[in-house]
Amino acid sequence: MAGASSSGNLNSVSIVLTQDPERKSRLYELHMEQEMVLEAPLVVTFCADWFRTREWLRLRQARDNFNNLVGYLVASFDAMILAQNVCLGFESEGLGICYMGTTLYSMLDIAEFLELPDTCLPVTAIVVGYPDEDPTKRDRLPMEALVHHETYHRPSVAEIEETYRQREVKGWERYMAIPELKRMSEERGITSLAQFYTSEIKYDPESFREFSLRIEDALVTKHFLER
Ligand SMILES: Cc1cc2nc3c(=O)[nH]c(=O)nc-3n(C[C@H](O)[C@H](O)[C@H](O)COP(=O)(O)O)c2cc1C
C-alpha cells in the first residue's frame, strides 16, 4: 500500500479512518443511508490532499502551487490508485470491501465532518469488514468491447447489441428480483435495463445535475477552482 505509484512521488493523499459508531452513523447519513456504513466496523475515506505539501512549501519559502484544477485531478488519481491498492491488501487478508461512490455527492459535507483543511477533499471511501456472505462476482462487459488496437474502433449497432446482450438479461433479472425495485420500475413504466439505469431509481439525470453543482461548489470552497 505504501508503495502505490504517486505523481511526482508527492503523495498528495490523506486517509481518514472512522470506527466510532456514533461518527459512523453520521457518515451513514452522508452516504445516502447505505446500510453497509453501519454494518462494517471500518470506513476509510481517501482524500486528495495538498494541504500538507503546501504547508511544507510555505515553510521553505517555495512558490505555492496545486491549488488549481490540475492539482485536484493529480491528487484524485493518486487517491484512487492508493484506494485500490488498499482494497487488494484487505481482500488478500480475507476482508471484504465496498466502495462508496456517494463520497462524491456529499463531498463538501464529508470534508466538513472530517475537518479537512483547505485544498483537501474526499475522493472516495470504502467500508471494510469480514464478509458474512460470498456473492459471485458480477460479469464485466466482454474485453473485446473495451480494448482497441492502435485507434478507437467505433462500435456498430450490431456490436453494441452483442456487447450488452447478456447484461440486458442478467442485469434486468437481478434488479427485478428485488420486489421494491420491481414495483418502482412497474410504476414508472420502465421495461429495460437501459431505461432503469437513467431512471429516478438509479442514475437520475436531475440528481446528477445537482451533484455536479455541489462538486463544483466544493472545488471552489476548497480553492481548487475559481468561479
Ligand atoms: C468508484 C466506485 C463507487 C462505487 N460506489 C458504490 C456504492 O456507493 N454503493 C454500492 O453498493 N456499490 C458501489 N460500488 C460497487 C459497484 O457497484 C460494484 O463494484 C459493481 O456493481 C460490480 O460488482 P462486484 O464488484 O461485486 O462484481 C462502487 C464501485 C466503484 C468502483
- Domains, the chain, in order of start with CATH, read 7-135+208-221 (3.40.109.10), 143-197 (no CATH)
In terms of Cα–Cα distance, which of 108, 76, 99 is closest to 6?
76
- Determine phi and psi for 66, rounding to 5 degrees: 80, -5
CB atoms within 10 A of CB 47: 26
Residue with the nearest Cα to atom 13 of ligand 1? 99
Q: Give dist(CA 95, CA 110) in Å, integer.
A: 25
Q: Which of the listed residues 76, 98, 181 should we mutate to test ligand 1's pocket, taking the one with most ligand atoms within 8 A of CB?
A: 98
The residue count of the chain comes to 227
Counting from 1 in the atom list of ligand 1, the atom nearest the Cα of 100 is 8
Cα distances (Å, whole numbers) of residue 26 to 23, 99, 128: 5, 17, 17
Residue by residue, pLDDT tens for the chain (227 residues) are: 678 999 999 999 999 999 999 999 999 999 999 999 999 999 999 999 999 999 999 999 999 999 999 999 999 999 999 999 999 999 999 999 999 999 999 999 999 999 999 999 999 999 999 999 988 888 999 999 999 999 999 999 999 999 999 999 999 999 999 999 999 999 999 999 999 999 999 999 999 999 999 999 999 999 999 98
Report how far ligand 1's centroid is from the alpha carbon of 31 (Å).
13
